[in-house]
Structure 1
């Protein structure tokens, strides 16, 4: 899983880590762990919250996480 792609999508949308955390209801530290590859297996519910907050389809997020 390439969590750095979440960071890339977030930054493309001009969103800070704090904003994504507030919009998704997922803690800033947990999102940071995902983005930095420290958390390799986030739950589907967490990924759904992140995709909704980013304004992208869940499948789009999953596909981005599988890209190198």
Structure 2
């Protein structure tokens, strides 16, 4: 079995996957929240595909009450 390799996505592709604009991802990074990212150089930002999935899963709710309950607990 081949070893699992990490899949890194650029900002544009990551934004398309989650349905946000690249500028929104930039703002989220600047404000210190959002999808975890990796800096591969001075200007190169990439996102781990697994981290995108974890981030989205952590924001998935069956109903509004469950979302509100998580906000109160935090």
**TM-score > 0.5, shorter chain as reference:** no
TM-score class normalised by the smaller sequence: 0.3 to 0.5
Higher Cα radius of gyration? 2
- TM-score, L = length of structure 2: 0.37
